[in-house]
Amino acid sequence: LQYLLNTALYMLEPWERLLFSTLLFAILSTALYSALVFL
């Protein structure tokens, strides 16, 4: 609930929440991957 409220996803429809969370997860995982490759 804190995640939904602070990112304002609380107001969105389920598919929009899923879309945004997937995007966020994709960004963080590529960042992690790049950091590993780089390091």
Partner 1 sequence: LNSRGVWLTYIILVFVLHFILLSIPYITTSVAWTLTTTIHNLCNYYLFHVVKGAPWETSDQGRARRFTFWEQIDDGVQWTGTRKFLQIVPVVLFFIASFYTKYDKTHFLINLATMLLAVVPKFPIFFGVR
Partner 2 sequence: EEFEETPTWTAVVTVLGYAILSALGWLRDFLRNVGLEEKKTSHDPNPKDFVPLYQSYECFYTRNLYTRIRDVFNQPIASVAGAKVDVMERVSDDFNWTFKFSGKKIPSINLGSYNYLGFAENSGPCSNQAIKSIEKYGLTTSSTRHELGTQKYMVELETLMAKYLSVEDCIAFGMGFATNALNIPALAGKGDLIISDTLNHTSLILGARLSGAVIRKFNHNDMKDLETELRNAIIHGQPRTCRPWKKILIIVEGVYSMEGSLCKLPEIIALKKKYKAYLYVDEAHSIGAIGSHGRGVVDYWNVSPDDIDIHMGTFTKSFGSAGGYIAGKKSLIDHIRIHTHSGCYCPSMSAPIVYQIISALSIIMGLDGTNDGQKRIKQLARNVRYFRRQLVDMGFIVYGNDNSPVVPVMIFMPAKIAAVNREMLKRGCAVVTVGFPATALTESRVRFCLSAGHTKEMLDDALKAMDEVGHLVSLRYSKRNPP
Which residues contact partner 2 by CB under 8 A?
Answer: 1-2, 4-13, 16, 19-20
Q: Which one among 1, 8, 37, 39 touches partner 1, defined by CB under 8 A?
A: 37
Give 1-39 as a DSSP string: -HHHHHTTGGGS-HHHHHHHHHHHHHHHHHHHHHHHHH-
Contact 3, 11 (CB under 8 A): no
20 binds, options partner 1, partner 2, none, Cβ within 5 to 8 A by partner type: partner 2
Q: Which residues bind partner 1 (CB under 8 A)?
A: 27, 30-31, 33-35, 37
